[in-house]
Chain A
Amino acid sequence: MKVPAAARVLPWVGVLLALLYVASAFRPPRDGVMPLSRAAGMPVVDLGRTKPLDTFARSTLLIVSGRQSFYLAGTDGTSERKEAKGHERRPALAWLLDVMARPEQARGYRVVRVDHPDLKALLGAERERKYFSVDEIVQHREALEAQIQRATQLPAGSRDHYQRAVVDLAQKLTLVFNVEDWANLLLVPPLDPAAPDAWGSIASAEHQAQEHGNTSPATAAWTGTLQAWRSQESAAFAAAPAAYMEWLRSAPTVHGSRMRTELLFNRSAPFLHALGLYVIVFILASLSWLRLSRSLATTALWVLGVGLAMHTFGLVVRTYVQGRPPVTNLYSSAIFVGWGGAVLGLFLERFYRNGVGAATAAGMGFLTLLVAHNLSLDGDTMTMMQAVLDTNFWLATHVVVITLGYASTFLAGFLGILYILRGVLTRSLTAQEQVNLPRMIYGILCFATLFSFVGTILGGIWADQSWGRFWGWDPKENGALLIVLWNALILHARWGGMIRQRGLAVMAVAGNIVTSWSWFGTNMLGVGLHAYGFIDSAIFWMFTFVATQLAIIGTGLVPLHRWRSLQPAVKTATSPSSPQGASQRPGSRRPATPLAPPAPESPR
């Protein structure tokens, strides 16, 4: 069969566009009037980690505002995205420098996010407002302080929604005030290479200089930079940190290449770009089934390759910057689950070339990166490890393997979703696909069983090493065990002939529920040694996810004669619920068609 030229060119065009999209992420930074990028790499110690000023600015604004930039109208600074026409987008770093150097102006910016309606009422604002300036909040200081005091008298676990919002707002303000008080931030690297942890503040460095006469180049650089920012002199601002940055290159106590890599990571936002590409892959792959076009599937596969490369780049950079294995907290587990699923999906696509692997890889990549993005709104995602978790060996083995277990169980579940939805709602589940998809599910389930089993037991061994109990029946341990048992149950049911293709797909979808319970649900119980934090809205999304999976399971359980892909391929103008469909009662023999699978393999 002759392939039309357009179809042959399509994958090339697709991959070229994808590469251009990715390349746009790596453009050198464009500065406005003020050369912001000159100050972006100045080191700060925050939450126990040395990070570039740019990261500190982004994570601080994220916590305060839920965004990495804000909007300013003219120069009066009273802007909210909605109300401002001709507003100007200001990056986090510009905000941070304003807070440090021009606090009286920065206090007028509407950046502090307040969501609770009662708290808005306390601030005397209408319900529609989202962002408030520090000045506006400080006006209500007395009322607010009384509420903060009441709320903090309760232990954190027993505060209600409103009280949590109050404490949250207090923390946001503290964060801003701490930045205003920049002379007490840890900005001065130690001069003595033997004491790499002895970071100091500008205030203490000035004191040192007076007492002992040893001045750090950091002091002059910071005061000069902030002065220049205050008067908005771009030449002085560009010049002030130059000598300090040069000195840092040879400073033994600051890991310069890690800092520069982190700046590149911040700028290129690899996960957001990967997310965008995954959406396109999913659409291309879905279209490939409807149009049954091979070249669309190939395009999907190639673009997936580019997306996965960007995903991998982000993962590797994070690993390098942190000096840690890839999974250290909930956020990074989401990134890694998506990555593992995408790699396995790519592997499937490579063998089957039917768009299924690409679509599931992209779907999983998209969803998990979306989850990760929402988890990242808590601030810096490269958090330090609690003492008991501070071991690269177990992070690299147990955590990585168990996360791959999550990834492969999810992948099997997503394949199950495709089988059910395509089978019930469309005619695209051909006889060949009716055999292929369950085979893919089965294969991935074997992987999932292996990874989750080994990962769970490695976790037990870690527990034995660190607190003397191989198995403690802790919620997180139980969650992991549930995945192993569920996968084992599916495999045994399949071997025993209790389920066939349809059953396999339906049970694999149920595996999504089990895995999401183990991954997020167990953290929401608020008990156990592994409870590393959760967010209110996470509970809502967890329930939503479970509800969708139950709906899909329900869809998968409709009688087989209702499955559009299993209906005889007679072209009629009637809808699936037409009298023709109704005439096929359960148990009535269907006419044999090429689409119906042979008897021993028939789905059950």
Chain B
Amino acid sequence: MNATVRNAFKPLASLKLTVVLLACGIFLIFSGTWAQIDMGIWTTLKTYFRAFFVWIPFAIFLPRHWNVHGGIPFPGGWLIGGLLMLNLITAHTVRFRYTRKRLGILLIHFGLVLLLCGELVTGIFADEARMSIDEGQTVNYAEDTRNVELAIIDPSGAQTDHVVVVPESRLRHRGRIQDARLPFVLQVEAFYPNAELVDGTELTAAGAGLGPVADRGFAASLGARARPRPSVSGVDQDEIDLPAAYITVLADGESRGTYLAALYFSLMPRFGPQDVVVGDKTYRMALRYVRDYKPYSISLLDFEHDRYLGTETPRNFSSRIRLVDATQNEDREVLIYMNNPLRYRGETFYQASFKQGDTGTVLQVVRNPGWLLPYIACTLGALGMIVHFGMHLKRFLRRTRTA
């Protein structure tokens, strides 16, 4: 390489930059940990680690009742990680001499590059969903519990239902939704990312500002209204956002009733989808978690929740399932339990949770094309350190022996 080019890259390859970036990384991670007290892991992930810049408020490090304002802008995870990578690569191109003594360091650094790549791949491509199955039930879809969709189901087919879904982003824009497959138009009156259902009959003047009222469906028969709430922070792991939307069904330019579609109804077995009658045909409507249909199905044969002798401390959760995949000619039983997931078709199924009364299981379904990278990275890094520090130790031992 040309000497001038080499000199130009020197600052970028310097150890000083490495140290500064490591220090920045330490501060970022430290702040990102404190932020989780109020923000919840997913929001933190997006604002601190998978971001180029982040605003770090001073208040996160201090007791909340002090009400401290202000903060500092700081490089985010993508920026620090990217610069570290650049620093590492330029260091190896312009500064390093490749000798046997450097073998360990080379291995460690290559492992680190792989590790950072793995995090990049995960950040961009990884996908997480849930499958919740009752004992005896068969399910062929996973649910994305961070997004909802409005499903209009036509149950008149002999073998299968016909489903038209409206994504959450479309609901947020409100307005009219038309689809050639539906003989009616949907008018989104309101969409709340998180709402609680309240008894409309008990609302007095305060209820006046609540927006639309449903005159059909569950909400009409219960007299329920949706009251918007702020989104859940995430520290409270027991609480989830419960979106709701008011939908008016229009046919031939005329209103056929306003419905309250709420995730709450979909999650409660005694509700489920509600009937929408248009003309002489009955459709069903539900605001539910986004479903990702699979070419295979999973039936839950048995769910077990073992406890330690004489206590309520869980010892193990396990799900005995039957996996059926016609496209692969697959039909077999699998036991999924803690620390023993099922890997199938590039997806991994973990025992994540269970339904009340141990009547069903909740499996976490993860697709992460980069899952193998950390394993390789770890092996390389550990090997590199053992080689490098081993050489140090050998030298040290030789010196003390001769001394």
- Given contacts A388-B338, A495-B15, are A488 and B389 in contact (CB under 8 A)? no
Among the stretches B22-30, B157-165, B176-184, the one at the interface with A is B22-30
**25 CB-based A-B contacts, threshold 8 Å:** A45-B309, A45-B310, A186-B309, A384-B315, A387-B317, A446-B392, A449-B389, A450-B389, A453-B382, A457-B378, A457-B381, A457-B382, A464-B371, A466-B338, A468-B128, A468-B366, A469-B366, A470-B118, A470-B368, A479-B33, A482-B29, A485-B29, A495-B15, A525-B37, A527-B41
Determine how close the nearest CB of chain A comes to the CB of B375; give it in whole angstroms. Answer: 6
- Contact A468–B364 (Cβ < 8 Å): yes
Q: Is the interface of B mostly helix, strand, loop or mixed?
A: helix
Residues of A within 8 A of B (CB-CB), count:
60
B304-333 Cβ-contact flags toward A at 8 Å (1 or 0): 000111110111110000000000000000
Inter-chain CA distance A390–B318, complex, in Å, is 13
> In whole angstroms, how far apart are the Cα atoms of A138 and B315 in the complex?
36
CA distance A380 to B339 in the complex (A): 26
Name the prevailing secondary structure of the A interface residues.
helix
Given the interface pairs A473-B32, A489-B19, A496-B15, the reply to whether A449 lies near B385 with Cβ below 8 Å is yes
B44 engages A384 (CB within 8 Å):
no
Contact with A along B1-33 (1 / 0, CB 8 A): 000000000000011101100110110011011
Assess the A390–B316 pair: CB atoms within 8 A: yes
Q: Is B301 an interface residue (CB 8 A)?
A: no
* Cβ A473 vs Cβ B49 within 8 A: yes
Cα(A469)–Cα(B315), bound, Å: 22
Residues of A within 8 A of B385 (CB): 446, 449-450, 453-454
A461 sits at the interface (CB 8 A): yes
Contact present for B316 and A387 (CB under 8 Å): yes
Chain B residue numbers with a CB within 8 Å of A49 are 308-309
Q: Per-residue CB proximity of B276-305 to A under 8 Å, as 1/0? A: 000000000000000000000000000000
A457:B374 contact, CB within 8 angstroms: yes
- With contacts A471-B374, A479-B33, A482-B26 known, what are 12 further pairs, Cβ within 8 A? A47-B311, A186-B309, A388-B338, A443-B392, A446-B392, A450-B389, A453-B382, A460-B378, A468-B341, A468-B348, A468-B350, A528-B41
**Closest A residue by C-beta to B45:** A473
Going nearest first, the 8 A-B pairs with the smallest beta carbon separation are A48-B308, A496-B15, A468-B366, A457-B378, A489-B22, A446-B389, A450-B385, A387-B314
**Bound-state Cα–Cα, A493 to B317, Å:** 47
Given A384-B311, A388-B339, answer yes or no on A466-B19 (Cβ-Cβ < 8 Å): no
- A376 located at the interface, meaning its Cβ lies under 8 Å from any Cβ of chain B in the complex: no
B33-47 near A? 1/0 per residue, CB < 8 Å:
110110001001100
Q: Quick one: which of A387, A447, A465, A525 has the most chain B CB within 10 A?
A: A387
- Which residue of A474, A478, A496, A525 contacts B18 across the interface (Cβ within 8 Å)? A496
Assess whether B143 is interfacial by the CB under 8 Å rule: no
> Any chain A CB within 8 A of the CB of B66?
no
Asked if B16 contacts A496 (CB within 8 A), the reply is yes
Per the bound structure, the CA–CA distance linking A366 and B352 in Å amounts to: 41
**A residues near B366, Cβ cutoff 8 Å:** 468-469
> In the complex, A83→B338 CA distance in Å?
54
A473 to B368, CA, bound (A): 16
List of A residues within 8 angstroms of B368 by Cβ: 468, 470
A496→B11 CA distance, assembly (Å): 13
B174 to chain A, nearest CB (A): 34
Inter-subunit contact B378/A461 (CB<8 Å): yes
A467 in contact with B22 given A48-B310, A388-B338, A495-B15 (CB within 8 Å): no
Would you call B396 and A186 a contact (CB within 8 A)?
no
CB distance from B267 to the nearest CB of A (A): 22
Question: What's the Cα separation between A469 and B385 when bound, in Å?
Answer: 25
Cβ of A522 to closest chain B Cβ, rounded Å: 7
CB distance from A504 to the nearest CB of B (A): 13
Q: How large is the interface on B (under 10, 10 to 19, 20 to 34, 35 or more residues)?
A: 35 or more
Within 8 A of A (CB), among B241-282: none
User: How far in angstroms is the closest Cβ of chain A from B70?
Assistant: 22
Contact call A197/B316, Cβ cutoff below 8 A: no
Known A390-B315, A468-B350, A478-B32; contact A496-B19, beta-carbon cutoff 8 A: yes
Pair B19/A443 contact, Cβ less than 8 Å: no
Please tell me which one of the listed residues A457, A470, A479, A527 contacts residue B37 in the complex, with CB atoms under 8 A apart.
A527
Q: Which residues of A contact B210 (CB under 8 A)?
A: none
Residues of A within 8 Å of B381, CB to CB, are: 453-454, 457
B119 touches A (CB below 8 Å)? yes
Whether B339 and A466, one on each chain, are in contact in the complex, defined by CB atoms closer than 8 angstroms, is yes
Residue in A46, A467, A471, A522 whose beta carbon sits within 8 Å of that of B310 in the complex: A46
Contact: A467 with B352, CB < 8 Å? yes
Contact B317–A199 (Cβ < 8 Å): no
Among candidates A474, A492, A526, residue contacting B15 with C-beta atoms closer than 8 Å? A492
* A597, CB-defined interface residue at 8 Å: no
Q: Which residues of B contact A466 (CB under 8 A)?
A: 338-339, 341, 350
* In the complex, per-residue mask of A366-382: 1 if CB is within 8 Å of any chain B CB, else 0: 00000000000000000
Please tell me if A498 contacts chain B, counting CB pairs below 8 Å: yes
Taking a contact as CB atoms under 8 Å apart, the answer to whether A485 and B339 are in contact is no
CA distance in complex: A11, B115 (Å): 51
Best-surrounded residue of B25, B314, B339, B341 (most CB of chain A within 10 A): B339
A495 to B16, CA, bound (A): 10
Distance in Å from the Cβ of B72 to the closest Cβ of chain A? 19
> What 1/0 flags go to B341-385 for Cβ under 8 Å of A?
100000010101000000000001010100100110110011001
Cβ-based interface call for A475 (8 A): yes
Whether A481 is near chain B, meaning CB under 8 Å from some CB there, is yes
Interface membership of A577, Cβ < 8 A: no
Which residues of the partner chain B approach A485 to less than 8 Å between Cβ atoms?
A: 22, 25-26, 29
Q: Are B18 and A492 in contact (CB under 8 A)?
A: yes
| Interface check A472, CB cutoff 8 A | yes
List the A residue with the shortest CB-CB distance to B347: A468
Interface string of A497-518 (1 = CB under 8 A from B): 0100000000000000000000
Chain A residue nearest to B318 (CB atoms) is A387
A-chain residues with CB within 8 Å of residue B34 when the two chains form the complex? 525
A394 at the interface (CB under 8 A from B): yes
Query: Which partner residue on chain A sits nearest B370 by CB separation?
Result: A470
Give bound CA distance, A446 to B377, whole Å.
19
Q: In the bound complex, do residue B392 and residue A464 qualify as a contact, i.e. CB atoms below 8 Å apart?
A: no
**B13 to nearest A CB, angstroms?**
11
State whether the Cβ of B235 lies closer than 8 Å to any Cβ in chain A. yes
Q: B residues within 8 A CB of A231?
A: none
Return the contact of A488 from the options B22, B30, B317 (Cβ within 8 A): B22
How many angstroms from the CA of A387 to the CA of B15 in the assembled complex? 44
